[in-house]
């Protein structure tokens, strides 16, 4: 495994870990910075996890998994409803089953949450002691022992109880007695059952031993059923469902607003296009086909500029001057144009008398133009006739 964080809690404040082979210890919260980008594996004390075995059925395995807790009920101390069951990889028609108290597992997961780590797997420590065929493996810590029996078995206990528990394990597995004992740490003299010994290390860092057994230690992950990563993610997301629903509703509202605004702008564009066509017909009497009024009017003006008469020059100049002024007042709309005897009349309509008065005042600033503006109010419309003429100099 290239990128992993293997860790365990050894006290309410102290944690030990190996991150990509580098082992260290520190506060629980130090794990938060190590977890991103790595597969996080929590090691839990084997004393809290009972291993047993069950025969796999040939069919209906889903039903078998549901019935499994009740099939093992007679050999368990607690109530089935209070226990969590995890099934390991099947081997020779048998499956290893781990049993532990739900509250104990939930407490471990709560410790992880406080440390800022979400474990990808939870493994009993005895399944992380390195495995070797035809050998049993012992990791001897200061006050406890961790024993791996074959590929899918093991236990953990206080060192004072190790000899008696090994005797019991040997009697239960007479046909699978080990040829060799692999031992990490210094065994007690009274450990007479451990012969011959294949000594690994006397002074040992348990986390390095667990890291060495990681390749063959992931056969039985306790995070199954209601505690699987998918179920944990669902529980984590549940409080955010309302917020997510509100966010989706807000986004939907924004889409509606955008679509409505786009429709309004399209309608406005169509209205302006009709008005531009009306202005073009007023400016170019006799026009038959109007496709693009703005472009057509520009082309018409260029044609007039190509050989302008004195009246045409005056018309274009007045049209340009008047159009520039009217562009500053978008509330004022042009309904028609009339040009006669070097005078250009704009037929206007506005939204208020104040706007048209502002336009009139702006016109008085044009020293080289004679301007006249007559305004009237008809029902709900305000109309005005603006006349422009070049001032004689």
Examine the pLDDT at 344 and tell me if it is beyond 80: yes
Sheet of 50-55, strands arranged across: 50-55, 94-101, 83-87
Examine the pLDDT at 236 and tell me if it is beyond 80: no
pLDDT recorded at residue 59? 63
pLDDT recorded at residue 45? 96
Lowest model confidence (mean pLDDT) among 106-110, 200-204, 210-214, 353-357: 200-204
Residue-wise pLDDT tens digits, 307-343: 444 445 577 788 888 888 888 888 888 888 888 888 8
More confident residue, 304 or 371: 371
What is the 8-class DSSP label of residue 42?
A: E
CA distance 131 to 138: 10
- Report the pLDDT averaged over residues 197-225: 83
Q: What percent of the chain has pLDDT over 70?
A: 84
pLDDT recorded at residue 63? 65
- Report the pLDDT averaged over residues 141-160: 90
CATH topology for the 4-227 domain: Nucleotidyltransferase; domain 5 (3.30.420)
pLDDT recorded at residue 305? 58
- Cα of 27 vs its chain's centroid, Å: 29
Residue-wise pLDDT tens digits, 240-271: 667 777 888 888 888 888 888 888 888 888 88
Lowest model confidence (mean pLDDT) among 40-44, 136-140, 145-149, 389-393: 389-393
Residue-wise pLDDT tens digits, 131-150: 888 888 999 998 899 999 88
pLDDT band at 208 (very low <50, low <70, confident <90, very high): very high
Examine the pLDDT at 177 and tell me if it is beyond 90: no
More confident residue, 301 or 277: 277
Which residue is it, tokens 């065929």? 133
More confident residue, 71 or 126: 126
CA nearest neighbour of 78 among 113, 103, 43: 103
In this structure, the number of other CB atoms found within 10 A of the CB of residue 311 comes to: 12
Using CA atoms, how far residue 186 sits from 95, 142, 191, 194, in Å, is 33, 9, 11, 12
Examine the pLDDT at 9 and tell me if it is beyond 70: yes
pLDDT recorded at residue 308? 44
pLDDT recorded at residue 309? 43
CATH number for domain 249-390, candidates 3.40.50.2300, 1.10.10.10, 3.40.50.10800, 3.30.1360.100? 3.30.1360.100
Parse the chain into domains and list their residue ranges.
Answer: 4-227, 249-390
Q: Structure tokens of 388? A: 């422009």
User: The pTM is what?
Assistant: 0.58
CA distance 336 to 319: 12
Examine the pLDDT at 77 and tell me if it is beyond 70: no
């Amino acid at each position: 495994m290239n990128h992993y964080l293997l860790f365990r809690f050894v006290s309410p404040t102290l944690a030990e870990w190996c991150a990509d082979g580098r082992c260290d210890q520190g506060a629980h919260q130090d794990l938060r910075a190590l977890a991103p980008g790595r597969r996080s594996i929590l090691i839990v004390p084997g004393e809290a996890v009972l291993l047993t075995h069950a025969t796999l059925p040939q069919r209906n395995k889903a039903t078998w998994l549901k019935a499994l807790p009740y099939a093992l009920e007679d050999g368990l101390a607690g109530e089935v409803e209070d226990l969590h069951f995890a099934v390991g990889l099947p081997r020779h028609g048998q499956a290893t089953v781990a049993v532990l108290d739900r509250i104990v597992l939930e407490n471990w997961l709560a410790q992880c949450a406080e440390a800022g780590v979400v474990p990808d797997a939870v493994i009993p420590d005895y399944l992380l002691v390195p495995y070797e065929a035809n050998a049993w493996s012992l990791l001897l810590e200061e006050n406890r022992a961790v024993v791996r029996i074959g590929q899918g078995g093991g236990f953990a206990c206080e060192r004072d109880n190790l000899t008696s528990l090994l005797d019991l394990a040997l009697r239960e597995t007479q046909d699978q007695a080990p040829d060799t004992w692999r031992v990490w740490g210094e065994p007690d003299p009274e450990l007479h059952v451990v012969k011959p010994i294949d000594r690994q290390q006397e002074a040992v860092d348990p986390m390095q031993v667990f890291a060495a057994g990681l390749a063959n230690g992931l056969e039985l992950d306790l995070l199954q059923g209601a505690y699987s990563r998918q179920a944990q993610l669902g529980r984590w997301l549940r409080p955010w469902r309302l917020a997510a629903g509100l966010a989706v509703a807000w986004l939907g509202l924004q889409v509606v607003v955008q679509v409505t605004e786009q429709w309004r702008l399209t309608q406005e564009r169509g209205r302006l296009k009709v008005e531009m066509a009306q202005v073009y017909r007023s400016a170019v009497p006799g026009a038959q086909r109007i496709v693009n009024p703005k472009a057509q009017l520009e082309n018409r003006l260029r044609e007039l500029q190509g050989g302008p008469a004195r009246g045409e020059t005056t018309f274009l100049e007045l049209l340009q001057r008047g159009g520039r002024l009217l562009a500053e007042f978008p509330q004022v709309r042009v309904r028609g144009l009339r040009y006669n005897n070097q005078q250009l009349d704009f037929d206007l309509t506005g939204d208020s008398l104040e706007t048209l008065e502002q336009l009139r005042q702006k016109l008085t600033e044009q020293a080289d133009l004679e301007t006249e503006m007559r305004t009237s109010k008809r029902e709900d419309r305000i109309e005005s006739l603006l006349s422009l003429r070049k001032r004689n100099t």
